[in-house]
Amino acid sequence: MKSVTAKSKTYAPRPDYFSIPALETVAAWLLAIIWIFPLLYAFWAAFHPPAYMVRFDLFAPLTLDNFKNAWAQAPFARYYLNTFTLVTGVVFAQFVVCTLAAFAFARFPIPGKNVLFMLVLIQLFVFPEVLIVENYRIASELGLINTITGIGLPYVASAFGIFLLRQTFKTIPRELEDAARIEGCNWLEILWKVYVPLAKPTYLAYGLVSISHHWNNFLWPLVVTNSVESRPLTVGLGVFSAPETGVNWATVSAATLLSIAPLLVAFLLFQRQFVQSFLRAGIR
């Protein structure tokens, strides 16, 4: 269960040991091109008139019309706002709830702690979308249908976040805690001044993973939202581009790019942090 992150801090190639002959370079590149091609194609389609969707022509005229159409045909601005609110809210709430729980598991003598912890870990497997029918009913009874809270709340007590933070907290030396106590800090101050600052990399990692997860989440938001006021980007995109609407493909491409753009740009800018975070968070 422990993390391998200590050994994977760098991406620097190891000198020579695994040098790759030419054939493999070609294979690696070929695979890379295949892998990135769908995205490039979407770009190409989004910036050219619909007629060129299925006819490749290097000199096809460039256009922004598809983006204008997509923007005009669906309330993407609102979807952005919803997704943004959702993601910030969920991540913030997860930080608070998971920090408290992780702190309890790491430092407090709770009776039956191991059993409780196992119970928490069950949620790694029984996630909200599997229980979609009952969670829908519960959300409905709590008046959370068609609210952004309703999309996010089931994910707030994240077993994964609790686990990750507990691991980190456990590695923090007791001496630091004792020193703070001598200075007169109470438990919450110790948590805030000692544990949280030292766990920053974990928060970053978990935050990035959580952001990507909730930016991309679809099934539960689809079920729990009814209207533009609460629909996140993924659901908006799904509703907009479902094949039976017959919306033209170039517009769908543009809409697709619109919905992935912020995350994609963030990823391209902070590639290393993203990969490190997924890695750190993934080994559990």
Of 86, 90, 98, 164, the one binding another protein by CB under 8 A: 98
Under a CB-based contact definition with an 8 Å cutoff, are residues 148 and 217 in contact? no
Residues numbered 44-83 forming contacts with another protein, rule: CB under 8 A: 45, 50, 53-54, 69, 72-74
68 to each of 63, 72, 251, 265, how far by Cα in Å? 10, 6, 9, 20
Of 49, 89, 219, 273, the one binding another protein by CB under 8 A: 219
Under a CB-based contact definition with an 8 Å cutoff, are residues 70 and 42 in contact? no
In angstroms, rounded to a whole number, what is the distance separating the alpha carbons of residues 251 and 47? Answer: 9
Copy the structure tokens of residue 84. Answer: 């943004």
Of 149, 168, 202, 253, the one binding another protein by CB under 8 A: 253
Asked if 42 is part of the footprint of another protein (rule: CB under 8 A), the reply reads yes
- State the nearest-atom distance from the C-beta of 206 to another protein, in Å: 15
Under a CB-based contact definition with an 8 Å cutoff, are residues 230 and 82 in contact? yes
Residues numbered 259-278 forming contacts with another protein, rule: CB under 8 A: 259-260, 263-264, 267-268, 271, 274-275, 278
Of 3, 149, 168, 202, the one binding another protein by CB under 8 A: 3
Residues numbered 123-152 forming contacts with another protein, rule: CB under 8 A: 123-138, 140, 143, 145-146
Under a CB-based contact definition with an 8 Å cutoff, are residues 60 and 48 in contact? yes
What is the H or E stretch that residue 59 is in? none
Under a CB-based contact definition with an 8 Å cutoff, are residues 255 and 238 in contact? no
- Residue 164-183 contact track with another protein, rule CB under 8 A, x = bound: --------------------
What is the H or E stretch that residue 21 is in? none
- State the nearest-atom distance from the C-beta of 231 to another protein, in Å: 9
Under a CB-based contact definition with an 8 Å cutoff, are residues 154 and 135 in contact? yes
| Segment lying near another protein (by CB under 8 A), choices 59-67, 177-185, 194-202, 231-239 | 231-239
Under a CB-based contact definition with an 8 Å cutoff, are residues 116 and 201 in contact? no
In angstroms, rounded to a whole number, what is the distance separating the alpha carbons of residues 248 and 30? Answer: 31
| Segment lying near another protein (by CB under 8 A), choices 57-65, 171-179, 198-206, 232-240 | 232-240
| Segment lying near another protein (by CB under 8 A), choices 84-92, 168-176, 192-200, 210-218 | 210-218
Asked if 115 is part of the footprint of another protein (rule: CB under 8 A), the reply reads no
Dihedral, CA atoms, 198, 199, 204, 207, nearest 10 degrees? -150
Asked if 207 is part of the footprint of another protein (rule: CB under 8 A), the reply reads no
Of 120, 164, 194, 199, the one binding another protein by CB under 8 A: 120
